[in-house]
Amino acid sequence: MSDVPAATDGSRRRFLRDATLAGAALALPHAGAATATAPIDAAIDRALAERRLVGTVVLVARDGRTVHRRAAGLADREAGTPMREDTPFRLASVSKPVVTTAAMALVAQGRLELDAPVTRWLPGFRPALADGSRPPISLRQLLTHTSGLGYRFLEADAAGPYARAGVSDGLDLPGFDLDENLRRLASVPLLFAPGSAWHYSLGVDVVGAAIERAADAPLADAVQRLVGAPLGWRDTAFHALDPARLAAVYVNDTPAPHRMQGPETVAFMPGSAGVAFDPARALDRSAYPSGGAGMVGTADELLRLLEALRQGGSDVLPAASVAEMARNQTGTMGPPDAPGSGFGLGFSVLRDPAAAASPEAPGSWRWGGAYGHAWFVDPVRRISVVALTNTLFEGMSGAFVGELRDAVYAQLAATAERA
């Protein structure tokens, strides 16, 4: 390992002590115990009863205190294993804010630069436009999905350019390493000139490779040193550290979600090729670390990161670095399925709550993960919410996401009225 600095033992103990005491003192009981918890638990219970979800862990923090926490349903339906608050999940794109935070820590140290060409760290990564020209691509463009790269699962059919090049989206087991995936990725023409449009992409995987060069360490080690160690993480990594506790994977189906038994391609949206999953990736320590999709972790450890960022960085980042992550970098360009949102570094940023039909305040952050996850942070109202599920795609982009969001605001409003 290189000289990437770790947090001091004292600062780590203070962070964990404060988080633990706050959670223990102010956590509310769950369903059936108090009317204050009814909206959130009702949303969870409805999704389980309607068999849209198999299991979930939901955590809600406000003002740095955990005000609602619940593990519900089953982590493994066939084995009858109840969901637990410390159940690890395959995180998919929930990996992105983690790896982005590691990149920003290196930016703060002067070892990466957001607006420098990525070729400074990856000389061989020089994808071309359709006309053969090779424009520079910055780390900022990679992190905001304005680089001109794409994802294989977003191609119009299963025989698109990424598929023909054998590019991995980081969710399967392709049988080659990260350098080879970047070589394949760079062989495909860019979709547009960098900076001119927004398209969800493998950009964070490229940033992961740049982190390895800048930190002079494997990505997994760099992320643990820069992010995991300051936050006291024990379960979040690029493979399952305790496979026996790992949540099973289910796919929305009729009359109930079916279990993902092995490699499976799941249709994501009309007109796209579908997402190629292999749940065995999380168990394979030799699988390359996909910065955009490859991590495994728990709801509690993700909440620690989100709360550290919301509170200005804690021991992880300087406040100025968090402000840069949370700034809308893309104007009106952003995810087509998220009206009113632009993009920061590692997550979307809400510009217009009315366009999004959302109770969130302007400037709220959110993203999700294809294995069935959603999270958001409302910095104005000092709220952080994590909902990890084992059911795709309901837990990422289904009705449950909006139902839970609305329930959180309804519950907190009711609590404020009684206070």
Residues annotated as catalytic (active site), given as ranges:
93
CA-to-CA dists, residue 286 to 2, 170, 239, 243, 294, angstroms = 21, 13, 9, 15, 12
Yes or no: say if 244 and 253 are a contact pair by the CB < 8 Å rule. no
Quote the DSSP letter at residue 237: B
| Alpha carbons within 13 A on the beta-carbon side of 198 | 18
| 217: amino acid identity, one letter | A
Identify the sign of the CA torsion 41, 46, 47, 49.
positive
Beta bridge partners of 6: none
CA dist 330 and 343 (Å) reads: 6
> What's the token pair of residue 40?
């959130």
Quote the DSSP letter at residue 31: T
- What would you report as the CA-atom Rg of the chain, rounded to the nearest whole angstrom? 20
Place of tokens 């919301």: 310
Yes or no: say if 416 and 333 are a contact pair by the CB < 8 Å rule. no
Helix (H) / strand (E) element for 61: namely: strand 55-62
84 φ/ψ angles, rounded to the nearest 5 degrees = -120, 160
Is residue 105 classed as helix, strand or coil in its secondary structure? helix
Yes or no: say if 309 and 327 are a contact pair by the CB < 8 Å rule. no
**From the CB of residue 186, how many other CB atoms can be counted at a distance below 10 Å?**
20
CA dist 237 and 98 (Å) reads: 10
